[in-house]
Structures are given as structure tokens and as C-alpha cells.
């Protein structure tokens, strides 16, 4: 059964949720294996984006974000701070891709 979710979720609160729920297993798995899971989820998202099933696309976006949070947690990176530093200070990154 899914837990009730507050209407507003921040990146920080989601990262903390992932940490609380999965950190023991994530630390045991380690960075290299976790990165491979992350890449697998990115591949699943790429596949989902080729189709029209929005429910599947939403699930894959959520999975990619969850695995990104896991990697950040393993490495002690606060994603909120990293985002603020990269995109909200001194005009953000220069240039574009």
C-alpha cells in the first residue's frame, strides 16, 4: 500500500525519503553497481519516451530521479545545494547545449 504523500515534495525531501528507506542496501551495493542501476533506468526512460504511454513515462522519470538521489546519497551530495550552487548563483551555468 502506498503511503499518503504531501501535495508538495521538494528535491531535498525526496532525497531524504530515499535515504531513509534504502540507504543500508544502497551503501552495501556501492557506487559502481548503483551507477549501473541508474544507467539501466535511464535506458528504460529512453525506451518509454519512444512510446505514448504517459503512465510508463512518469514511472521511468520517477525511477531515474530515485536512482540519482541514491547515487548522491552514497557520495554525500545534497542535491538541493548542488542545484542551487550550479543553477541559481552568479546567473547559473554559461552557455547551453
Closest CA to 76 of 43, 32, 31: 31
Per-residue pLDDT tens digits for 58-68? 999 999 999 99
Sign for the pseudo-dihedral over CA of 51, 33, 74, 4? positive
Dist. CA 12–CA 95, nearest whole Å = 27
What CATH class has 11-87? mainly alpha
pLDDT at 82 over 70: yes
Per-residue pLDDT tens digits for 18-55? 999 999 999 999 999 999 999 999 999 999 999 999 99
Confidence of residue 1 (pLDDT cuts 50, 70, 90): very low
CA angle 79, 80, 82 (to 5 degrees): 60
Do residues 39 and 71 make contact, with C-beta atoms less than 8 angstroms apart? no
Dist. CA 53–CA 51, nearest whole Å = 6
Amino acid at each position: 500500500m502506498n503511503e499518503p504523500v504531501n501535495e508538495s515534495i521538494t528535491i531535498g525531501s525526496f532525497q531524504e525519503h530515499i535515504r531513509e528507506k534504502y540507504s543500508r542496501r544502497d551503501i552495501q551495493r556501492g557506487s559502481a553497481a548503483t551507477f549501473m542501476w541508474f544507467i539501466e533506468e535511464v535506458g528504460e526512460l529512453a525506451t518509454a519516451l519512444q512510446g505514448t504511454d504517459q503512465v510508463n513515462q512518469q514511472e521511468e522519470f520517477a525511477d531515474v530521479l530515485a536512482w540519482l538521489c541514491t547515487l548522491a546519497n552514497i557520495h554525500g551530495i545534497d542535491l538541493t545545494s548542488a542545484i542551487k550552487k550550479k543553477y541559481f548563483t552568479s546567473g547559473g551555468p554559461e552557455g547551453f547545449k
